[in-house]
Amino acid sequence: MLISISLIGCLASVIISIFIGISLAGTILNLITTAVLFLTFYISVIKKRKKAASYLISIAISTILFPLLFLTNGGIFSGMPIWLTFGLIFPWMILNGKSCYIMFAINITAALSCFVIQIFFPDLVLKPETNNLIVTISVDMAQVLIIVPFIIGTAIKYHNAAYEQQLIKNEIQEKKLFEAIKEADRANEAKTSYLASMSHEIRTPINAVLGMDEMIIRESRDENILSYAENIQSAGQSLLSVVNDVLDFSKIETGKLELIPSEYSVQQLMNDCWNMIIMRAEKKNLLLEIRNSPDLPSRLRGDEARVRQIIINLLTNGVKYTSAGSVIMTLSFRYTGKKEIMLRISVRDTGMGISPENQKNLFDSFRRIDEINNRNIEGTGLGLSITKQLTQMMNGTISVHSILGSGSEFIVEIPQEVVSEQPVGVFSENRRQATAEKPKYHERFQAPDARILVVDDVKLNTDVIKGLLKKTKVQIDTAYSGRECLGLVRKNAYNIIFMDHLMPEMDGIETLKIMQKIPDSPNSSTPVIALTANAMLGAREKYESSGFTDYLAKPIQGDQLEVMMLKYLPEALIKTNFDNTSDAPQDGLFTQSELPELDHAAGLEYCCGDEELYLRMLGMLELEPKLHQLESAFRDADWKTYERLCCSLKSTSMTIGAMRLADAAKQMEQNTHSGRLAEIRAMHSEFIAIGRGLKKAAGNYINSNTSSEGEKY
């Protein structure tokens, strides 16, 4: 733009100069200047090489041509001093940084030289060939006075307009950016709350699975079933840990993770870590060692659960990413204050190691490294990110030293308060001295006169609590909705009420609010404990402020449940001196079978000894529709369906101990499979008759083993 205006200005000036009769040399130079301006225009506008054009214009015009024009157009007796001034402004307008100052210095030297020549060698300056010098000079001055401010003014105007346009553009962009940030925030919040609610939804059924499984472990004597149940426990626990990771991650993301400091035993901490990792290490034939400075203070204060989480994350990774050798954790410390130490946790493994490039992204969330080689190793890519964030929340640091192919060492340093300076001793020796075998489950107390109410819309959950408290002999009522609960609390006095938070229609908080307003309620001072699978955002404060006495997080652990019961049951109802060492099976709820259709003992064995479950399975048998389907498949000669139905009947019958039907179904299945149609036709009616006989027997069982209120237990 500047060159275009200068070009126009220059052309105008050439014409006027010819008109006022400047020297021939001056006219030629004017034409050269115009040609150079054309060339600069070409380089800048057509070839888009602005920088080259800027140098060309500054050097050719301001440094060379303008001074020459000064000398040939009349020197100070012309408009050239103003052009020289214009030339001096040029570098400021078109060049940046150092080049601007250098070019300005060159231009000003050239301009000042013109005046030196004018003073000391005036003969070198060619005057216009005119009779009336004053008029000529005035005309020349006047044209420059018009042209130069016009060029500069237009340039400034153009700059202003461009600047204003840019401001408007910036404003629009800022608005867009702001909207985009808001949108991203909203999306992030939605993602976090989705993650939180998903984890909550998943935790609820895991609760039921793990609770039921614990009942199997407690009650079963069958080695096979015990080993299946233990497998369920370990798979369930690892599923739970993934869900917990996601939940923790979303809590950290939204700044809602609270640290809960408490006193803890360092030996216990190391023990827990050992117990949680040793099985995995042994499975991979790895040496797991926990070493410690023997003079480490034995009791510390900090968020034990989170410290444990950090250690477990590092140890789990150590085991996961090591195929041979060892994983060694070392706990050491240094005093940083009178009552404060810097606890140093080092976890070293002889595993695959991490390359220096990958170490940079190690702590990013959802980031798994070397995914192709690690595809068989399960993981979410959240462990280290959570570990780092937890460490930072505790004002600690985490670092890693690793050599690809040789192993890694993760070092965490966190400040902890000292509660007892007594040295903890050597972990491995302490462990050896401690009792090796974990005692089998025994109830802590019995309270046959205590009566509690469990409110949960999912029957499986109330069943879990019933199962977990079975040996305590506590009387348990159940309600499957807030409304049902309100009916029961009006009638009966309870010693404790366990209330699920999230229920359809009326949730736990609403139910509690209405309950508290019941006049002369027999439960006005009954402790109400919230059951929640959502241990998010300051759960304790939330439930306490809603009027709950306490809360229990799902999955409900038998131990925690008993501790909670002991805390809130009236002392007079609690019996702790009773014989709980007997491993003899409990009295059955069922009268012994006199019918050949049903083998009670076999059925119970398949139901893991859980009589209630057995009764429920009988109730859910739904034999009639299956028998109907079998009959119609037989009529239609649809042997494929017939075989499938026999197969399913075989397994359900076995589960409830209906061995006769199971045997018959198995035989019919084999017949169908081998295409022995004659046999099928001969045996079909008898097979169906056995089924009908069982249906009757099961019905009789259910009737004779349930009370008039529907439930005997």
CA pair distance 310, 331, nearest whole angstrom: 13
CA pair distance 574, 560, nearest whole angstrom: 16
**Cβ nearer to ligand ADP, comparing 81 with 396:** 396
The site map against ligand ADP for 99-128 (x = CB under 6 A) is: ------------------------------
Paired strand residues for 335: 341
Contacts from 76-80 at CB under 8 Å and sequence distance 24+? 76/115, 76/118, 77/127, 77/128, 77/133, 77/137, 78/22, 78/128, 78/137, 78/140, 78/141, 79/13, 79/140, 79/141, 79/142, 79/143, 79/144, 79/145, 80/114, 80/144
**Cβ nearer to ligand ADP, comparing 286 with 646:** 286
> Which member of 43, 84, 147, 354 binds ligand ADP (CB under 6 A)?
354
> Which member of 352, 419, 497, 531 binds ligand ADP (CB under 6 A)?
352
CA pair distance 102, 112, nearest whole angstrom: 15
Q: 10 Å Cβ neighbour count for 48?
A: 9
DSSP reduced 3-state for 246: helix
Residue 236 binds to ligand ADP (criterion: CB under 6 A): no
Q: Give the gyration radius of the chain's Cα atoms.
A: 45
Q: Which stretch binds ligand ADP (CB under 6 A): 217-225, 349-357, 587-595, 695-703?
A: 349-357
Q: Quote the least distance from Cβ 289 to ligand ADP, whole Å.
A: 15
CA angle 396, 397, 399 (to 5 degrees): 160
Q: Which stretch binds ligand ADP (CB under 6 A): 107-115, 368-376, 468-476, 698-706?
A: 368-376
Q: Quote the least distance from Cβ 397 to ligand ADP, whole Å.
A: 17
Q: How many residues does the chain have?
A: 713
> Which member of 140, 213, 303, 349 binds ligand ADP (CB under 6 A)?
349
The site map against ligand ADP for 418-457 (x = CB under 6 A) is: ----------------------------------------
Binding residues among 396-425 for ligand ADP as defined by CB under 6 A? 408
**Cβ nearer to ligand ADP, comparing 304 with 349:** 349
> Which member of 272, 370, 484, 638 binds ligand ADP (CB under 6 A)?
370
CB 497 within 8 A of CB 467: no
CA angle 229, 234, 237 (to 5 degrees): 120
Paired strand residues for 398: 412
Residue 385 binds to ligand ADP (criterion: CB under 6 A): yes
**Cβ nearer to ligand ADP, comparing 368 with 616:** 368
**Cβ nearer to ligand ADP, comparing 65 with 311:** 311
Residue 317 binds to ligand ADP (criterion: CB under 6 A): yes
CB 688 within 8 A of CB 630: yes
CA pair distance 306, 668, nearest whole angstrom: 58
CA-CA-CA-CA dihedral for 191, 193, 194, 197, to nearest 10: 160
**Cβ nearer to ligand ADP, comparing 79 with 351:** 351
CA pair distance 533, 549, nearest whole angstrom: 17
Reference 653, options 635, 678, 630; nearest CA is: 630
> Which member of 217, 362, 411, 460 binds ligand ADP (CB under 6 A)?
362
Q: Quote the least distance from Cβ 326 to ligand ADP, whole Å.
A: 12
**Cβ nearer to ligand ADP, comparing 140 with 349:** 349
Q: Which stretch binds ligand ADP (CB under 6 A): 95-103, 207-215, 228-236, 376-384?
A: 376-384
Paired strand residues for 290: 329
The three-state DSSP-derived secondary structure of 55-124 is HHHHHHHHHHHHHHHHHHHCHHHCCHHHHHHHHHHHHHHHCCHHHHHHHHHHHHHHHHHHHHHHHHCHHH
DSSP reduced 3-state for 549: coil
Residue 351 binds to ligand ADP (criterion: CB under 6 A): yes
Q: Which stretch binds ligand ADP (CB under 6 A): 279-287, 345-353, 531-539, 567-575?
A: 345-353
Residue 379 binds to ligand ADP (criterion: CB under 6 A): yes
**Cβ nearer to ligand ADP, comparing 349 with 477:** 349
**Cβ nearer to ligand ADP, comparing 4 with 380:** 380
> Which member of 114, 290, 382, 658 binds ligand ADP (CB under 6 A)?
382
Q: Quote the least distance from Cβ 156 to ligand ADP, whole Å.
A: 58
CA angle 388, 394, 397 (to 5 degrees): 50
**Cβ nearer to ligand ADP, comparing 340 with 370:** 370
The site map against ligand ADP for 653-672 (x = CB under 6 A) is: --------------------
Q: Quote the least distance from Cβ 99 to ligand ADP, whole Å.
A: 50
Residue 312 binds to ligand ADP (criterion: CB under 6 A): no
- Token pair 């004659």 is found at 678
> Which member of 284, 308, 368, 490 binds ligand ADP (CB under 6 A)?
368
Q: Which stretch binds ligand ADP (CB under 6 A): 372-380, 563-571, 607-615, 636-644?
A: 372-380
> Which member of 325, 381, 415, 699 binds ligand ADP (CB under 6 A)?
381
Residue 318 binds to ligand ADP (criterion: CB under 6 A): yes
Q: Which stretch binds ligand ADP (CB under 6 A): 247-255, 266-274, 364-372, 640-648?
A: 364-372
CA pair distance 104, 661, nearest whole angstrom: 107
**Cβ nearer to ligand ADP, comparing 398 with 617:** 398
Residues 6+ apart with CB under 8 A from 522: 489, 490, 491, 492, 493
Burial annotation 344-369 (CB, 10 A radius, 16+ → b, else e): bbbbbbbbbbbeeeebeebbebeebb
Q: Which stretch binds ligand ADP (CB under 6 A): 333-341, 377-385, 580-588, 642-650?
A: 377-385
**Cβ nearer to ligand ADP, comparing 315 with 531:** 315
Number of residues that bind ligand ADP (CB under 6 A): 21
Residue 384 binds to ligand ADP (criterion: CB under 6 A): yes
Q: 10 Å Cβ neighbour count for 472?
A: 24
CA pair distance 39, 54, nearest whole angstrom: 11
Q: Quote the least distance from Cβ 291 to ligand ADP, whole Å.
A: 17
Residue 374 binds to ligand ADP (criterion: CB under 6 A): yes
Binding site for ligand ADP (CB under 6 A): 317-318, 321, 349, 351-354, 362, 368-370, 374, 379-385, 408
